[in-house]
Structure 1
Amino acid sequence: MNSNAAMRSRGGGLWEGLYRVLMRRNSVYVTFVVAGAFVGERVRFHHLFLYFLCGLRIVDYGVRNLWDYNNAGIAFN
């Protein structure tokens, strides 16, 4: 018995169970989508965007320093 058949016989994994709960009835799916949209409107996405940009700047700084450290004294044409 392969792993997929074993998971099906046990009822599947977390994502499959969540999918079955949300997709069982149309009313549950629509409620989930509407509630997600409502929560998404209330969350301040510009704060999340700024945190994301700060993370990118930190990664860029680290990569540049690593590049400079590894390539010190090498002349590129």
Structure 2
Amino acid sequence: MDYTSRRRGQGGLFEGLYRVIMRRNSVYVTFVIAGAFLGERAVDYGVHRLWEYNNVGKRYEDIPVLGQRQSEE
């Protein structure tokens, strides 16, 4: 058995992805929309954490006098 016949029998990563995801249009569109939503959430979370890490002590909530609301009595 040579390399090309083994390769055709097993398939590769891209052939597997094609068979699972891209063969039907409805599955492909669902995959793209879900990926975009999850990717946006991950980037938003990461950027928010990075911004908070870089601005510790400089935020409005970190200033003792400004961050506290006075109770109305």
Structure 1 length as normaliser, TM-score? 0.48
- Which residue of structure 2 aligns with residue 43 of structure 1? 42
Tell me, in whole angstroms, the C-alpha distance in 1 between the residues paired with 2:3 and 2:36.
36
Q: Specify every segment of 5 or more residues in structure 1 that has no aligned partner in the other structure, as ranges.
A: 51-77
- Which residue of structure 1 aligns with residue 29 of structure 2? 30
Specify the structure having the higher radius of gyration (Cα): 2
- Which residue of structure 2 aligns with residue 16 of structure 1? 15
Structure 2 length as normaliser, TM-score? 0.50
- Which residue of structure 2 aligns with residue 4 of structure 1? 4
CA deviation digits over 1:12-42, x for unaligned, max 9? 0233111221111000000000000100111
CA deviation digits over 1:48-70, x for unaligned, max 9? 7x6xxxxxxxxxxxxxxxxxxxx
Q: Structure 1 stretches (4+) deviating beyond 4 angstroms?
A: none
Tell me, in whole angstroms, the C-alpha distance in 2 between the residues paired with 1:38 and 1:15.
23
Matches within 5 A, 1:33-72: 33-44=32-43, 47=46
Tell me, in whole angstroms, the C-alpha distance in 2 between the residues paired with 1:21 and 1:13.
12
The structure-2 alpha-carbon separation of the partners of 1:4 and 1:45, relative to structure 1 and needing over 3 Å to count, comes to: farther
Tell me, in whole angstroms, the C-alpha distance in 1 between the residues paired with 2:16 and 2:35.
19
